[in-house]
Amino acid sequence: MIALVGARASGKTTAGRLAAERLLRPFVDLDEAVERETGQSVPALLEADEPRFREIEAGCLGRVVAASPGNAILALGGGAPMHFEARRHLSRAVVIYLHARPETLQKRLRRDPRPHPPLLGFDGVDEVAAILGVRDPLYRGIADAILDTDMLSIERVAKALEREIGRLETLEHSRLRAY
């Protein structure tokens, strides 16, 4: 399984879905899976109780990883890897970090009509740099590969993702043949 991590607006869901479609792979969006399981929206769950939401999200991630085929592409919410249980589940996946600078993420968020609930108590767009400052080291620590999505259109992010998945799978096949 390929798991995509990164900040809000890095392209995990949109580019991940596009790459999965072109590679003829199943695609799973963790936020959508959480909403199906709970019957509530992610923004509502976050607003009600973020720590409880992270527990729900981590449990859902474990079920998704266990139930999904090995060739699936999974897009995680930006904060999902913050929970220790989620990181344990991610150890069974190949993790790709879609990285972008805070300025790029802010521009993308401003163009996105969907709600972005604040996580630190101030505007969801303005808090990007502070959140990325905390999460970037963690994303890097769990990533098997890092893709820089700065200055790339969603189409180009998807193409870069397709190339990286192919590269990682070639490496894995080479490793398996060596044994």
- Is CATH 3.40.50.300 correct for 2-177? yes
* 47 close to 117: Cβ distance less than 8 angstroms: yes
Of 27, 155, 30, which Cα lies nearest the Cα of 81?
30
Q: Which of 91-105, 121-135, 152-166 has the lowest mean pLDDT?
A: 121-135
Which single residue is written with the structure tokens 């790709």? Answer: 96
Place of tokens 């990286």: 164
Q: Measure the CA–CA gap between 79 and 113, rounded to whole angstroms.
A: 20
The pLDDT-based confidence of 153 (bands split at 50, 70, 90) is very high
Amino acid code (one letter) for 104 = T
- pLDDT score for 110: 80
pTM, to two decimals: 0.91
- Relative to beta strand 2-5, strand 73-75 is parallel
- 52-89 confidence digits (pLDDT tens): 999 999 999 999 999 998 899 999 999 999 999 999 99
Looking at per-residue pLDDT, the higher value among 164 and 125 belongs to: 164
Task: For residue 113, name the pLDDT band (cuts at 50, 70, 90).
Answer: confident
